Structure 1
Amino acid sequence: MHALSHRRGRVVRILAVMAVVALAVAGWLTTRISASAAVPPPAPGWSLVFGDDFNGPANTGVNRSNWLYSLGHGYPGGAANWGTGEIETMTDSTANVFQDGQGHLAIKPIRDAAGNWTSGRIETQRTDFAAPAGGKLRVEAAIQQPNVSGAAAAGYWPAFWMLGDAARPVGATNWPSIGEWDILENINGRDSHFAAMHCGVSPGGPCNETTGIGSGERACPGCKTGFHTYAIEYDRSTSPETLRWFRDGQNFFTISQNQLDATTWNNATHRGFFIILNVAMGGGFPAAFGGGPTAATQSGVPMLVDYVSVYTSGGGGGTTPPPPPPPGGARDAYSTIQAESFNAQSGTQTEATADTGGGEDVGWIGNGDWLQFDNVNFGSSAATQFSARVASGAASGVSGLVEVRLDSRTSAPIGSFATGNTGGWQSWRTVPANIAAVTGTHTVYLTFSSGQPADYVNVNWFTFGH
């Protein structure tokens, strides 16, 4: 549910008595129960990377090591009214957001005597929920939509959704390019729910913003009176990659990679995400179905969340760990240094490469990302040249610099080269550059800067020369 548009889910789960449902396409096992549920254990081949079952004492807030509260009427520096036109003030008060003592999180919108609305919006502290290259990510929650209908429900907008990690540092001003996945949205107390993906540019663009690529309204009888499971699964183990949405274990909506150009898809999927739970009041989506809130809207009807869980398959946790450093910890500056052999990194992922020699490359690189390589020995004869093997499928007008820095990410670059589209994300070329003379042993940083937010380069390897 973020800036502008129809989104926000507050998916409902029926949790009926520990019945295990096999998901047809994904082979996932979903547990449904009638009372408070623990976070379901991972199915075979999957790993649990995050979970919260909201089993805290009654009238307590959420675990702040897992969650942060979004407050007020928008992100600092971001769009007013969260970019959607909603009217509530988000708070961290236990009047609006609390654990009920029965294993549920409640997010309750409240109208005061003057007609002002308050409500709650929480986000995971973590922003790194990602599908490993060649693997899968599954994000799931058991939710009961606010049990209100008709005129009393006008303006209610509960949601369970996700935003790309790059949204948080800039108040989501880069929406929708960084991706939004709406797992559950409900509006105005209708017996239904919606799902959507937001991406590209706004308005219009390949993702039809501000509407996004949506499932349309899906009937959901009983979603306001019982818990139902809502989930999204991002599958990178197949070609084309797919995003699949589920309710109670049944796949009801799918978006395939080949529905979008590569840049739009990659920017909206190949990154970490964070999870959001909120209940908005008013805004563009409720307005499209009659509007609200009005004087007849009932105050104080909560969305209930039984648990939230995140699983990965095929990559061991959703983030790419750095490979071990080379034997002895030393690197020869004049041999080929594989990009995936970094000692530390920020913002990147590894993937299988189609370049000569095979192996892996480092991809999804954009402005502000970096790679660190320890103990690079230049010897006593100064290196004056640098070259790197790069590929890019960036859109027209998207480009950036590959920079070399020594011993600190904030030191002045000793050299750099610019790169843009090379003909595709696996269309490789070797680009040379001059550098200031360097001798001795150093920590080498490859840093990446661009005037655009989109990813613009993959790197397979680099080396230095005299």
Structure 2
Amino acid sequence: MSATSGIPRRRRALLAVLSTLGLAAAAAAAVTLPANASAPTPPTGWSQVFLDDFTGTAGTGVSSTNWQYSTGTSYPGGPANWGTGEVETMTNSTGNVSLDGNGNLRITPLRDSAGRWTSGRIETKRTDFQPPAGGKLRIEARIQMPNVTGTAAEGYWPAFWALGAPYRGNYQNWPGVGELDIMENVQGLNKVWATMHCGTSPGGPCNETTGIGNSVACPNTTCQSGFHTYATEWDRSVSPEAIRFYVDGVNYHTVTANQVDATTWNNATNHGYFVILNVAMGGGFPDAFGGGLDGDTQPGHPMVVDYVQVLQAAGGGSGTTPPPSGSRDAYGTIQAESYDSQSGTITETTSDSGGGQNIGALANGDWAVYKGVTFGSTPATQFSARVASGAAGGVSGLVEVRLDSRSAAPIGSFAVAGTGGWQSWRTIPANIGAVTGTHDVYLTFTSGQPADFVNVNWFSFGH
């Protein structure tokens, strides 16, 4: 099957242990941790190369070891208004950038009596964030966007992003040196944008000044009303090389090296990056969604950042995508590789829509568990899964759903035979017994033959 069909089951079981400890990107889950939660411990296979938990006395500035302030309306000699048309003046004032004393950073736009806006923009002093050869890099933060919507939010533009290291001190080589927008939002919309900028502007291979981007609504709670975890994962362990973007573990945008020419990709990725947090006011992006920054826009709504961390996984396939913090939403898309524990599975890159990974080598007796799946008070009665099978004729099996115990009776199942290939994907629905509350969900795999019979990319529940 795909890359693993000839591997004996005992060897595949060992590979599963070696390649999937550390657990992968998980469901569209609401973050239910407290606002001052610590950064999660790196999963097996990952090491932490940068962390700021923003602990400190209320009203003080950020760590001068980790961060530097960008102030004024441009870099020295760089494009005016930070190159975007935004109107605020960035400052190092604790009125604009400060710790809240509860383990959070607050970047707060303010407007004075003359209508002039100030805000904050901080950058990591380090500019060397990049994956090792054959490895991965993950840049992650847990953030609540400014909690303001409607007319009062017009012009707000919070962002968590990274720029290619050669930009620092040059300020004229954008977008060729690369930019990774991990989280952008405008106008208080319940939407997060992820974008890679590269190539030449305007136009060019990366469609500048728009870039190669996508957007999605924040899972469960809105972007403004709660914390969510935003991340990018730069993966040099796959071919073509990939940069994936996540919200609460959901991979909603992926850019791969084969989407642009080799020179463009190399210019954007053959160096380190530095990380930026800022809240702009006005400019081209808000203007594209109605603009309207005026006296009706309310100042004083901060972007609140719980932590920023950078993780690294060495080459050789160690370290899969870390799971998000918080519980899983039964009605979101639960990525199959986000299990908390498993037996007999492997994790591999999928060619299915959206990219990412699937679990495979699934045969009789294999299983995976997904802890803390929240169904709510309205019973779920439907289950669907995205599956593929390259099993030989006569080989089939059941994908079963069990609750809280691997030995519990299945609440539902569906049969799978060959779909035309191990990456030939279908979404198969099934009825299940009514489920409410919060449960650990087990996927179990049963077959009358010993051969592998199915791959799973994701699954979800419905009413």
* Pairing 1:66-465 to 2, within 5 Å after superposition: 66-170=66-170, 172-218=171-217, 221-314=221-314
Question: What CA distance in whole angstroms lies between the structure 2 residues aligned with 1:290 and 1:251?
Answer: 28
Question: What CA distance in whole angstroms lies between the structure 1 residues aligned with 2:33 and 2:131?
Answer: 27
- State the TM-score, normalized to the length of structure 2: 0.61
> CA 1:32–1:245 in structure 2 vs 1: closer, same or farther (change >3 Å)?
farther
* Partner SS for 2:196: strand
Q: Deviations over 1:218-272 (max 9, x none)?
A: 4554221111000000000011110101111111111111111111111112210
Question: What CA distance in whole angstroms lies between the structure 1 residues aligned with 2:22 and 2:313?
Answer: 16
Letter of the structure 2 residue corresponding to residue 89 of structure 1: T
Letter of the structure 2 residue corresponding to residue 183 of structure 1: I
> CA 1:190–1:31 in structure 2 vs 1: closer, same or farther (change >3 Å)?
closer
Cα distance, 1:31 vs. partner? Answer: 8.3
Equivalent residues of 2:191, 2:215 under 8 A apart: no
Equivalent residues of 2:31, 2:226 under 8 A apart: no
Question: What CA distance in whole angstroms lies between the structure 2 residues aligned with 1:185 and 1:53?
Answer: 21
Cα distance, 1:38 vs. partner? Answer: 1.4
Question: What CA distance in whole angstroms lies between the structure 1 residues aligned with 2:288 and 2:33?
Answer: 34
Question: What CA distance in whole angstroms lies between the structure 2 residues aligned with 1:89 and 1:106?
Answer: 17
Cα distance, 1:186 vs. partner? Answer: 0.4
Cα distance, 1:108 vs. partner? Answer: 0.1
Letter of the structure 1 residue corresponding to residue 288 of structure 2: A
Letter of the structure 1 residue corresponding to residue 197 of structure 2: H
Cα distance, 1:292 vs. partner? Answer: 3.0
Letter of the structure 1 residue corresponding to residue 166 of structure 2: A
Q: Deviations over 1:386-417 (max 9, x none)?
A: xxxxxxxxxxxxxxxxxxxxxxxxxxxxxxxx
* Partner SS for 2:78: coil
Question: What CA distance in whole angstroms lies between the structure 1 residues aligned with 2:37 and 2:216?
Answer: 27
Question: What CA distance in whole angstroms lies between the structure 1 residues aligned with 2:136 and 2:22?
Answer: 17
Equivalent residues of 2:30, 2:228 under 8 A apart: no
Question: What CA distance in whole angstroms lies between the structure 2 residues aligned with 1:26 and 1:79?
Answer: 39
Q: Deviations over 1:56-109 (max 9, x none)?
A: 110000001100000000100100000000000000000000000011000000
Question: What CA distance in whole angstroms lies between the structure 1 residues aligned with 2:244 and 2:30?
Answer: 15
Cα distance, 1:25 vs. partner? Answer: 5.9
Letter of the structure 1 residue corresponding to residue 189 of structure 2: R
Question: What CA distance in whole angstroms lies between the structure 2 residues aligned with 1:152 and 1:287?
Answer: 15
* Partner SS for 1:215: strand
Question: What CA distance in whole angstroms lies between the structure 2 residues aligned with 1:95 and 1:232?
Answer: 30
Equivalent residues of 1:30, 1:40 under 8 A apart: no
Question: What CA distance in whole angstroms lies between the structure 2 residues aligned with 1:31 and 1:150?
Answer: 24
Question: What CA distance in whole angstroms lies between the structure 2 residues aligned with 1:215 and 1:62?
Answer: 31
> CA 1:234–1:115 in structure 2 vs 1: closer, same or farther (change >3 Å)?
same
Equivalent residues of 2:22, 2:43 under 8 A apart: no
Question: What CA distance in whole angstroms lies between the structure 2 residues aligned with 1:26 and 1:296?
Answer: 39
Question: What CA distance in whole angstroms lies between the structure 2 residues aligned with 1:217 and 1:180?
Answer: 19
Cα distance, 1:164 vs. partner? Answer: 0.2
State the match for 1:404 in structure 2: none
Q: Deviations over 1:304-357 (max 9, x none)?
A: 0000000111159xxxxxxxxxxxxxxxxxxxxxxxxxxxxxxxxxxxxxxxxx
State the match for 2:49 in structure 1: 49
Count of residues in Structure 1 that have an aligned counterpart in Structure 2: 294
Which one is further off, 292-301 or 200-209?
292-301
Question: What CA distance in whole angstroms lies between the structure 2 residues aligned with 1:30 and 1:257?
Answer: 31
* Partner SS for 1:263: helix
Equivalent residues of 1:67, 1:123 under 8 A apart: yes
Equivalent residues of 2:25, 2:249 under 8 A apart: no
State the match for 1:413 in structure 2: none
> CA 1:261–1:26 in structure 2 vs 1: closer, same or farther (change >3 Å)?
farther
State the match for 2:323 in structure 1: none
> CA 1:305–1:72 in structure 2 vs 1: closer, same or farther (change >3 Å)?
same
Equivalent residues of 1:139, 1:311 under 8 A apart: yes
Letter of the structure 1 residue corresponding to residue 213 of structure 2: G
Equivalent residues of 1:164, 1:179 under 8 A apart: yes
Question: What CA distance in whole angstroms lies between the structure 2 residues aligned with 1:30 and 1:45?
Answer: 25
* Partner SS for 2:63: coil
Q: Deviations over 1:443-466 (max 9, x none)?
A: xxxxxxxxxxxxxxxxxxxxxxxx
Question: What CA distance in whole angstroms lies between the structure 1 residues aligned with 2:224 and 2:26?
Answer: 27
Cα distance, 1:24 vs. partner? Answer: 4.4
> CA 1:45–1:217 in structure 2 vs 1: closer, same or farther (change >3 Å)?
closer
> CA 1:138–1:32 in structure 2 vs 1: closer, same or farther (change >3 Å)?
farther
Residue 64 of structure 2 corresponds to residue 61 of structure 1: no
Equivalent residues of 1:179, 1:269 under 8 A apart: yes
> CA 1:97–1:246 in structure 2 vs 1: closer, same or farther (change >3 Å)?
same
Structure 1 gap segments, 5+ residues each: 1-20, 317-466
Task: Between the two structures, name the one with larger relative contact order (CA 8 Å, sep ≥ 6).
Answer: 2
Question: What CA distance in whole angstroms lies between the structure 2 residues aligned with 1:156 and 1:95?
Answer: 17
